[in-house]
Structure 1
Amino acid sequence: MGKASRDKRDIYYRKAKEEGWRARSAFKLLQIDEEFNIFQGVKRVVDLCAAPGSWSQVLSRQLYLPAKSSAESKEGDVPLIVAIDLQPMSPIEGVIQVQGDITNARTAQLVIIHFDGSKADLVVCDGAPDVTGLHDMDEFVQSQLILAGLTIVTHVLKEGGKFIAKIFRGKDTSLLYSQLKLFFPTVTFAKPKSSRNSSIEAFAVCENYSPPEGFHPRDLHRLLEKVGSPSGGSHLDCSSGWLEGPNKVYIPFLACGDLTGYDSDRSYPHPKEADGSSYQSMDPVQPPIAPPYKRALELKKASAQSIRDA
């Protein structure tokens, strides 16, 4: 599918390039903020699995740049944004990049160092594995990624803070919801309008971080394994997709974004240029600078060259 065709079939892909976003996912975070006001009062943010940087861009534009340009801002009042990913990404104004693994608790220590010992007001994570199309497998791997993010959260998020993470909806969604509820009194699964209906993705919006009394981050996985019924009895049985009887879990689910706005599953005609000329598709704002598939492309190119030289 060519760029012009994709511009027509994916309005958010087109708008992302027109507005200077590195990826269409920027609109998802903006729409979550419209519904939940997650940026209010935020001074320190951690962006997990940040590359290629669209969510870091949103954080920079919504938090850092307005504070920097404000005539009333003083030194030390500018929000601090730390972005973490295994892959490097091009610089973004106001964003400190840490190349690290979110499954390693040492990464949390690097964040705390940048915060001078303080903790974050908000942690966001738009990370996802390379999907296989096998929903059960994709959902499981994604849930493990979220729990890895939760490991970082327990080290760096202050009490009362917020955690936003991508999830894949499936039969074990109830279990993930119950695990997040151990740390956040308010958990809502949200579906931004820019997220395609055909996609199983949604976002867990977790508010008011409140770890159990006496909790230590090293006890996280032991605590998660003990998630049981509301009475503390048997473990959750999510094999049927939704719990029954006394173990029934009702998950708040909300569609967010302007309902009169663009539909991510609809095709829109290309706009006409002011001079009447045809629409010219734009290049992506920032291609990956070190994509995981780079080595594969190099091998393919070398193989083609050797065939031509033979």
Structure 2
Amino acid sequence: MGRTSKDKRDVYYRLAKENGWRARSAFKLLQLDEEFHLFQGVTRAVDLCAAPGSWSQVLSQKIGGQGSGHVVAVDLQAMAPLPGVLQIQGDITQLSTAKEIIQHFEGCPADLVVCDGAPDVTGLHDVDEYMQAQLLLAALNIATHVLKPGGCFVAKIFRGRDVTLIYSQLRVFFSSVLCAKPRSSRNSSIEAFAVCQGYDPPEGFLPDLTKPLLDHSYDPDFNQLDGPTRIIVPFVTCGDLSAYDSDRSYPLDLEDGSEYKYTPPTQPPISPPYQEACTLKKKGRLAKEIRPQDCPISTVDTLSQPLPLPQRRTLLASEVEDNEMNCSP
């Protein structure tokens, strides 16, 4: 895993393994914290779509290390245990998940809700942006159940043509909404992070997971809000600008010039969806060419009788003359 291509290409991937982070995305949350001081005064935090757990690691060190801090990680997939982190394997679109989070906090709301989740991208930007928007709204919906007034919400967002509608939706619930791009996030990626501070829901608002915040049947022409309804969200870059460039390739020997040594991942994936493919590859059975001699004879279609050979006969001289006359113009 990463012995050649990623180790040589992505400096943040290498640094994450060397520093004990489960994924390079840990640097994104750290750089967001440098800019917005997300962990200041936070004692209860929720990490949605947490697997493989790099953001939960950061939260456990920044909040769980305070003694009274509590971190709850939620994901549909199984995740290896982390010290100081309570794990819930559940769906963030279910009310039972929100109730279980509050139960772990002994009935107290959370100070911070983060979500670094993303769907399996297809490469079709319009589809990916829509799916990511729905995931963000699902995280926002659960945040309205567990977040205290004045709390903070941070979630991944894909910037696109219709992102204004998402900002407008977030602005209804938070006094401050910004779009941030950490230094460790590749410039070639359309991802960014919506940093929403000052949770202040509208008067009379009742959280309800049965009602989506954004209906899929909205008018596309309405997305580009204008006039008083248009929300202009500031764009902020995070992290030291003199730090490593996530889109650049660096040599393996970064500092002292010593010989590079491979560092294994901090935590291998648990039951990944590609596990069967990896097993087949180790056995040499992945995308293996099937040769005729490898097939058993029982699977080959056989004919009960040989095909008859075409009959041949000699044309008479009169038949040849008739054919020549029929073919003449």
TM-score by length of 1: 0.85
- Distance (whole Å) between structure 2 residues aligned to residue 287 and residue 185 of structure 1: 40
Instruction: Write out aligned runs for 1:1-310 (5 A).
Output: 3-65=3-65, 67-68=66-67, 78-218=68-208, 221=211, 224=214, 237-238=222-223, 242-271=224-253, 278-295=259-276, 297=278, 304=285
Q: CA RMSD in A?
A: 2.8
Unaligned regions of 5+ residues in structure 1, if any?
Answer: 69-77, 229-233
Deviations 1:237-265 (A, max 9, x none): 22xxx544454432211111111111111
- Distance (whole Å) between structure 1 residues aligned to residue 204 and residue 284 of structure 2: 58
- Distance (whole Å) between structure 2 residues aligned to residue 301 and residue 37 of structure 1: 46
Larger Rg: 2
The 3 A distance-change label for structure 1 pair 102 and 296 is farther
- Distance (whole Å) between structure 2 residues aligned to residue 278 and residue 255 of structure 1: 34
Deviations 1:10-53 (A, max 9, x none): 11001000100000000000000000001000000000000000
Aligned-partner SS, 1:3 = coil
The 3 A distance-change label for structure 1 pair 164 and 309 is farther
Report deviation, 1:212.
0.5
Aligned-partner SS, 1:182 = helix
Report deviation, 1:119.
0.5
Letter paired with 1:22: R
Aligned-partner SS, 1:8 = helix
The 3 A distance-change label for structure 1 pair 151 and 222 is closer
CA contact (8 A) 1:49 1:127 kept: yes
- Distance (whole Å) between structure 2 residues aligned to residue 272 and residue 298 of structure 1: 34
- Distance (whole Å) between structure 2 residues aligned to residue 205 and residue 2 of structure 1: 31
CA contact (8 A) 1:272 1:278 kept: no
Report deviation, 1:6.
2.1
- Distance (whole Å) between structure 2 residues aligned to residue 44 and residue 258 of structure 1: 28
- Distance (whole Å) between structure 2 residues aligned to residue 8 and residue 303 of structure 1: 26
Letter paired with 1:110: E
- Distance (whole Å) between structure 1 residues aligned to residue 254 and residue 48 of structure 2: 39
- Distance (whole Å) between structure 1 residues aligned to residue 75 and residue 88 of structure 2: 7
Percent of aligned positions with the same letter in both sequences? 62
Number of residue pairs matched by the alignment: 289
Report deviation, 1:309.
11
- Distance (whole Å) between structure 1 residues aligned to residue 276 and residue 94 of structure 2: 25
Deviations 1:163-198 (A, max 9, x none): 000011111110000001110110001000000000
Unaligned regions of 5+ residues in structure 2, if any?
Answer: 297-329
Letter paired with 1:146: L
TM-score by length of 2: 0.80
